Structure 1
Amino acid sequence: MLNMNFTQSVSIDTHSLKWVASPMPGVVRKPLAREEAEQGHATSIVCYEPGASFSSHGHPKGEEILVLEGVFSDQTGDYQAGTYFRNPEGFSHAPFSKEGCTILVKLHQFQADDSAHLAIQTNNAKWHRVNDSLEYLGLHHHKDEQVFMMRSGAELKVDLDEALKGLEIYVISGELLENGHRFSAGSWLRRPALNKKLHNDSQEDCYQLGSDTVVWIKMNHL
């Protein structure tokens, strides 16, 4: 197992990790959290070399994908960088990439009654302007779980105090500051659910986005 204690904080610079071979030629990955070798809960950065493919397969408890670079494809179409997917249990596909791609993948993590099937091109979506320096794009909401993106035009603080049941952040571009600690593009952070009996305002973390920063965020899912 790898990083499967959800009561502990995890911070990883994914750019510093070495690629690990997968069972399919031309597909390599950087495991961030994994329950078992080839099944169960997993979060990874996966790279398809040009022309690489996987045979058709399904995903018990769902699959979540954010295309980081290149073009990711399956029988439903071609999806460029910036596309966010949710493929629920029961959906099968045979993914491939003609030109190569890099994706953030989360497997086996859907709630039992969450069957949302989504494909959102975030670069073309209508973002909500929070203020002059911050935009917000909601991607998915199921019960307490929320998935969204934020992008900044200037350095500013952001409010993530509602993440009482866990927080996960991937820095797509720019940089994120957490209590003064800097996390550059490619950083993956996971923070545990808070103990409500011990939590008070003095314990709230301070998050700040650097100028021209884009982050993917998932909260209240642990």
Structure 2
Amino acid sequence: MSSELINADFAQRVVIATDTMPWVPSPQAGVERRMLDRIGGEVARATSLVRYAPASSFPAHEHARGEEFLVLGGVFSDEYGDYGEGTYVRNPPRSRHTPRTAPGCTILVKLRQMSPTEAQRVVIDTKNTTWRARDPGGLEQLPLHAASDTGECVVIERLAAGGQPAEMDCPGGEEIFILSGDLRDEHGSYRAGTWIRNPAGFRRGLGSNNGATYWAKRGHLRPMP
């Protein structure tokens, strides 16, 4: 099986306006992808946007190293339930399911990036979860996952218009996907749909002119076997 390397050097900062990327057909009819980073072929450590056409499905399969995804639009379904826009799901290593969708959906998905010891399945409806004030600079946070053994933390954050939180060190790296609004840092300005990967050891400050909501994952950009 051929191997692909896409943004595979995790020591490099990457910024992608994903709405400018083409949708690439997957081997399964009705399923398309925008590949953000990837190490491997069809079985890969990968971060992707995946779009399912209405009434499409994917064969039953196992996630040997786990899967996490956030539903960006539509309804994603499997034999365990239906997950609407804003639902965050973690399927642990060795879990198995058969994805499908009736109306179609788009998800942000990460594959083969979990600790082998993770065992708990997580499903969070972020549309009906309490936000926490995080910073006097106008930042609120919705926690999704935290692992004390690996240092991994996953959240959705909301930054008020004109907000300017304190600068942050990213000793274990950081990914951001902007769900709505706009963000800026010392390197530029970013609109909804932008994916940012800040490497381990990076330091950055964020701000927003009109407010922003974004998914963030931190502490995970370390080599994996």
How far does the alpha carbon of each residue in 1:68-126 deviate from its partner, in whole angstroms, 9 at most, with x for none?
01111111111110001110012111011100000000000002322231010101111
Residues 152 and 161 (structure 1), Cα distance of their counterparts in 2 relative to 1, 3 Å cut: closer
Across the aligned residues of Structure 1 and Structure 2, the Cα RMSD in angstroms comes to 1.5
Q: Is the 8 A contact 1:176 1:208 kept in 2?
A: yes
Aligned match for 2:174, one of 148, 153, 167: 167
Distance in 2 between residues matched to 1:104 and 1:124, nearest whole Å: 19
- 1:218 paired residue number: 217
- 2:185 paired residue number: 178
Distance in 2 between residues matched to 1:204 and 1:83, nearest whole Å: 29
Residue 16 (str. 1) matches residue 20 (str. 2): yes
How far did 1:180 drift? 5.0
Equivalent AA in structure 2 for residue 85 of structure 1: V
Aligned match for 2:65, one of 57, 61, 68: 61
SS in 2 for 1:102: strand
Distance in 2 between residues matched to 1:12 and 1:132, nearest whole Å: 26
SS in 1 for 2:19: helix
How far did 1:160 drift? 5.7
- 1:139 paired residue number: 144
- 2:106 paired residue number: 102
How far did 1:204 drift? 3.4
How far did 1:133 drift? 3.8
Distance in 1 between residues matched to 2:220 and 2:119, nearest whole Å: 15
How far does the alpha carbon of each residue in 1:1-36 deviate from its partner, in whole angstroms, 9 at most, with x for none?
111101101110110000000011100010001111
Higher mean displacement: 42-51 or 125-134: 125-134
Distance in 2 between residues matched to 1:217 and 1:179, nearest whole Å: 18
Aligned match for 2:91, one of 87, 94, 98: 87
SS in 2 for 1:156: coil
Q: Is the 8 A contact 2:137 2:163 kept in 1?
A: no
- 1:197 paired residue number: none
User: What TM-score, normalized to structure 2?
Assistant: 0.90
Q: Is the 8 A contact 1:30 1:45 kept in 2?
A: yes
User: What TM-score, normalized to structure 1?
Assistant: 0.91
How far did 1:188 drift? 0.3
SS in 2 for 1:123: helix
Aligned match for 2:127, one of 103, 119, 123: 123
Distance in 2 between residues matched to 1:97 and 1:105, nearest whole Å: 15
Equivalent AA in structure 1 for residue 215 of structure 2: W
Aligned match for 1:41, one of 30, 40, 45: 45
Q: Is the 8 A contact 1:47 1:100 kept in 2?
A: yes
State, as a whole percentage, how many aligned pairs show the same letter: 40
- 1:157 paired residue number: 164
Distance in 1 between residues matched to 2:81 and 2:167, nearest whole Å: 34
How many residues align structurally? 214
How far did 1:169 drift? 0.4
Distance in 1 between residues matched to 2:119 and 2:43, nearest whole Å: 20
Aligned match for 2:198, one of 191, 196, 201: 191
Q: Is the 8 A contact 2:160 2:208 kept in 1?
A: no
